[in-house]
Structure 1
Amino acid sequence: MAIQVDDGQRLPQLQTSERLLRAREVYEGRLQISRSSFYALVRAGEFARPVQITKQRVGWRQSDVDAFIASRPEAAKSLGI
């Protein structure tokens, strides 16, 4: 799908349907690990960096979380992914 601007030019529509997850959703809900373990993974560069939502809020792309889980076969199996 594309967006048409006044001069007749068509621009591609941006993909904005990606869901952003809050930290607690990621470490408790999806990964089932402690908060400190989660942030240790982020600091070590083993987990995706957060996306700035507002000045004081960050989130993680659901696709990044799913990719992380899929990269660890035992975790993916135990979480039913």
Structure 2
Amino acid sequence: MNTSKNQKIENNRLIRRKEVQVKTGLCGSSIYAMMAKGEFPKPLQLSERRVAWIESEIDQWITERVESHRATNAILEA
């Protein structure tokens, strides 16, 4: 049970924009432009002037991009 609790804590970890940029390879303006189009997870408001993203949502977004890329390549190779 301890592992499950630790895993939930890790999945709910909040990360700031710089870490989101490192994880995704996107710049800040691209992140905000994609959020405006509904193509990227939106952050949580931590305070009046601070936001953070849920790490598991960013990880899921990355996974979906990789899966889409692989599916496209598989179709092109078939």
Provide, for residues 19-78 of structure 1, a one-character-per-residue CA deviation record: whole Å limited to 9, x for no partner. Answer: 111111102x1011222111111111111111011121100000100000000117999x
Shift >3 Å, 4+ stretches:
74-77
RCO higher in structure (CA 8 A, sep ≥6)? 2
Q: What is the number of residues matched between the two proteins?
A: 62
**RMSD of equivalent CA atoms:** 2.4
Supply the distance in 2 between the matched residues of 1:19 and 1:54 (Cα, whole angstroms). 16
- Of all paired residues, the percent bearing the same amino acid is 37
What's the TM-score, normalizing by structure 2? 0.67
Partner of 1:22: 16
Supply the distance in 1 between the matched residues of 2:67 and 2:38 (Cα, whole angstroms). 20
What's the TM-score, normalizing by structure 1? 0.65
Per residue, is there more helix in 1 or in 2?
2
Name stretches of at least 5 consecutive residues in structure 2 with no aligned partner: 2-7, 71-78
Bigger Rg, structure 1 or 2: 1
